[in-house]
Structure 1
Amino acid sequence: MSVMTEVDHRIPKDVAEQLVAPGAYADGRIHKAYAWLRKNEPLGVAQVEGVDPFWVVTRHEDILEISRQNDLFHNGDRSPTLIGQEGDRKVREMMGGSPHLLRTLIHMDAPDHLKYRLLTQAWFMPQNLKRLEDQIRVLAKASVEKMAASGGRCDFVKEVALHYPLHVIMSIMGVPEADEGRMLKLTQELFGASDPELARDPDELEKPAEERQIDFGVIIDFSNYFRALSESKRAHPTEDLASLIANSLIDGAPISDLEAMSYYIIVATAGHDTTSSSTAGAMWALAENPAQLAKVKADPSLIPGLVDESIRWTTPVKTFMRTVTADTEFAGRHMKKGDWLMLCYASGNRDEAVFEAPQEFRADRKPNKHLAFGYGAHLCLGQHLAKMEMRILWEELLPRLSDLALDGEPAMSESVFVNGPKRLPIRFKMD
């Protein structure tokens, strides 16, 4: 494991600390840090106590280029999500030296990555998703009716945004509707381990922030649930994603328990949480920008643009880590084998060199070359489903929605990895 010596490119301590502080991602400080970095040190080294040094990649162009070079910048050599030194030690101790508690697609590189991606890729392609559109529209209509019945005031996150995408992905997976509440709670505990309102164990919040990125108990609970589901789907397979995963073969042999559990967990969590966040992010932005709401209501053809802008604006997956596989020079920086990099997608999505007025929410933004789904080999598997879900919901909701405004103080979750709105009180009228 290398120790960086790029003294001239060290990020100031106060800026570097924002990158590992979950609260900075909740209160907007992270965007100020990103803006400073893009202007002054777009590819610098963060040195924070308790965390291995890491390069911080903040420009759109550099994030794209690193994402293209999968042989030079690996996902699986070290943790692909930020973790402190003590957390990394615990994981390696538990996993026989491996830095991974799970082994999902985001933990894999070639050749394994493509083998596992191909298991479910067809499920998430547009031509297959078309057959689900009517089913998804029924769920969207039900969500709109629930909102309409709330009396003109609701917490949009808790009453609409969380449950609609959750129901969609659980239906596709084959998880019983009665278990959806359990899946939602576990997801919030997994991604919200650093958030005082979402974390399972309040005692964990006493630890330094960089040690709160993983809740081992949540992973165990997820695995126990999906292990039982997997056994059921092997004995009695049905036409759902869980049955497909449970009965998959890799190199002619049944998929291993670790890889199967990891596959279930990543689909069950990322498959709805990021969509929930982008949906709520759009509603928040529209509540603060009546002119944007009026523009999209007047021209429904702008809805796909609204969806893309909400994804750029919210960027639910804030960061991923990569590991350098060989000594190299990149963007004028000398990187060594084993160096760790943080790809800051939310920074790339507000890069002034790519986006006009990036701090403004524009439903009609064109082009919109956002990076929220990643790029290259690790492009988000579920991007087409996510955009379809959001499009359908807005098609059902916008024609009926009027007089939208905030009805209290919204709040974002506290997390360095995946975050989004956790509270969004609104008042509205519906036709």
Structure 2
Amino acid sequence: MSGEAILPPDVAREVIDPHAYAEWNGLLDTFDRLRQESPVALVKPEDGELFDPFWLVTRYDDVMRLSKDNKTFLNNPRPVVFSFRQAIEFSRQATGSDMLVDSLVVFDAPIHPKYRRLTQDWFMPRNLAKMEAEIRNIAEATVDRLVAAGSEADFVKLVSGPYPLHVVMQILGVPEEDEPRMQMLTQQLFGGQDADLSGTGMENMSPEQVVQLVAGAVKTFEGYFAELAAQRRANPTDDVASVIANATVDGEPLPERDMAGYYIIVATAGHDTTSASTAGAMMALAQDPEQWARVRADRSLLPGIVEEAIRWTTPVQHFMRTAAEDVEVGGQQVKKGDWLMLNYVSANHDPSQFDDPRRFDAARSPNRHLAFGAGAHQCLGLHLARMEMKILFETLLDRIETIELAGEPKRATSTFVGGLKTLPVRFKAA
């Protein structure tokens, strides 16, 4: 790698430290400085640090450009999420791939568009409209539980966690009794850096043990979905599990590993990210009782609240890309084979694109955030996420007269998928 801008070791550590992402405002301060001083900078390991160098990309325009240019900036062959060398080596030994899960997220053309088309129509608004009544029933049952809790509750535990989980499992075809298992495995996969979420005492684990824990979650997922796929091949239904189980590409069924990866990405990314955005929206509204009252009176404000919550929260905090050729990015000379981090947290808080970006502004327009990515790899479930959040908040606004914080919210310790892990609220039912 070559380049003039190299991050100081303390800043480089902060960018890859999951604890930094739990201390949100301090991290945003760091990104504010980097966008001004070193918008594209090399992160190099110090002695003893077991990761490969990569370019950190922090400005909105650069992240948007790289997200859309899938020919120059590839998902393969390096991991698409920041990984330490021992994780890559473990994955290579266990699966033959640098990534534990091969899914839509990791493929490039020509495979990616063929795989994406298998379920893309299912997740378009016209088809999702058929699900609206069922999703509304799930929202009603979720708010029933909140109201039954009395006047105080942890919104994440009672509402924003279980609601999108139940929705996506219904869509996928997973029985309700298996949902707690899916939640636990997702948290081990995405929230593995947070001891509270993974429930494994990970602060006492070596890096190798952490990798093995994540690999164990992947293996359990694969076994579960292999059984589900066999059931859906024998008895197809109208759920997404049946679509994947019976799909063919170029006249051939999906390879077992690719099929497992397809199930895993729908099952995990389909709820954990929406949970984070939903909790972010509620935190913003609970901090601003006047805004809650306004949107209760004027529901036309709701789509703006949903979109702003997704930007403001940025659940998927980064993805990695690999340069397919020598290229200039933000004034730096990136070489073929170099690894780059597209930092969506920084991009979504870039004041050149978003006026006063740390302020939650439901009327923000335009709001061309990057929380769903952009280009060929834009989130497959973005229409579902918006629909889920809108329906839930319509239900909450009908049933909850006032709401406020009842304690200090806490963010997850995670460099990849992040958001609130606790949100204590005090409320009055309507």
Normalising by structure 2, we get a TM-score of 0.96
The structural deviation recorded for 1:309 is 0.5
Counterpart among 22, 26, 34 of residue 37 in structure 1: 34
Report if aligned partners of 1:284, 1:424 keep a CA contact under 8 Å in 2.
yes
Alignment of 1:168-207 (within 5 A): 168-199=167-198, 201-203=200-202, 205-207=204-206
Q: CA deviation at 1:208?
A: 5.3
- 2:129 is the alignment partner of 1:133: no
- Runs (5+) with no aligned partner, structure 2: none
Deviation at 1:210, TM superposition (A): 12
- Residue 330 of structure 1 aligns with an amino acid whose one-letter code is V
* 1:324-344 deviation digits (Å, cap 9, x = unpaired): 011122232111111000001
User: Are positions 1:68 and 2:64 aligned together?
Assistant: no
**Structure 2 counterparts to residues 83-232 of structure 1, below 5 A:** 83-96=83-96, 98-199=97-198, 201-203=200-202, 205-207=204-206, 215-232=214-231
| Superposition misfits of 4+ residues, deviation over 6 angstroms | none
Superposed displacement of residue 200, structure 1: 5.0
What is the aligned partner in structure 2 of residue 5 from structure 1?
2
Kindly indicate whether the alpha-carbon contact (under 8 Å) linking 1:162 and 1:276 is maintained by their aligned counterparts in 2. yes
For 2:209 and 2:344, locate their aligned partners in 1 and report how far apart those are by CA, in whole Å. 19
Do the aligned partners of 2:39 and 2:330 also contact (CA within 8 Å) in 1? no
Cα deviation 1:232-280 (Å, max 9, x = unaligned):
1111111111011011111111111101110000000010110111001
In 2, Cα distance between equivalents of 1:21 and 1:206: 16
For structure 1, which runs of at least 5 residues remain unmatched after alignment? Answer: none
Query: What does residue 306 of structure 1 align with?
Result: 305
Which string of whole-angstrom CA distances, capped at 9 and with x for unpartnered residues, describes residues 21-61 of structure 1? 11111121322221111111111111132111110111110
Give the drift of 1:320.
0.2
Name whichever of 224-233 and 399-408 sits farther off.
Answer: 399-408
CA distance in 2, matches of 1:372, 1:252: 34
How many aligned positions are there? 426
Deviations 1:202-225 (A, max 9, x none): 257533599759711100111111
Provide the identity percentage. 49
Shift of residue 297 of structure 1?
2.0
8 Å contact from structure 2 (residues 40, 329) kept in 1: no
CA distance in 2, matches of 1:361, 1:188: 27
Please give the alpha-carbon distance, in whole angstroms, between the structure 2 residues aligned to 1:34 and 1:205.
30
Tell me the residue number matched to 1:291: 290
Task: Out of 183-192 and 378-387, give the one that drifted further.
Answer: 183-192
1:249 maps to a residue whose letter is: T
Partner of 1:318: 317
Which deviates more from structure 2 when the two are superposed, residues 18-27 or residues 109-118? 18-27
In structure 2, the residue corresponding to 1:183 is in which secondary structure?
A: helix
CA distance in 1, matches of 2:261, 2:204: 25
Partner Cα separation in structure 2 for residue 322 and residue 121 of structure 1: 23
- The CA deviation at 1:117 is 0.2
TM-score by length of 1: 0.96
User: Where do residues 395-414 of structure 1 align in structure 2 (5 Å cutoff)?
Assistant: 395-414=394-413
What's the RMSD between the two structures over aligned residues? 1.6
SS at match of 1:426: strand
8 Å CA contact 1:25–1:419 kept in 2: the answer is: yes
The CA deviation at 1:291 is 2.8
CA contact (8 A) 1:21 1:209 kept: no
**What corresponds to 1:346 in structure 2?**
345
CA distance in 1, matches of 2:191, 2:319: 16
1:363 equivalent to 2:359? Answer no
Question: Residues 213 and 359 from structure 1, CA distance in 2 versus in 1: closer, same or farther, beyond 3 angstroms?
Answer: farther
Alignment check: 8 A CA contact 1:194 1:212 kept: no
1:264 and 2:263 are equivalent in the alignment? yes
Structure 2 letter corresponding to 1:41: S
The residue type paired with residue 45 of structure 1 is L
Matches within 5 A, 1:234-249: 234-249=233-248
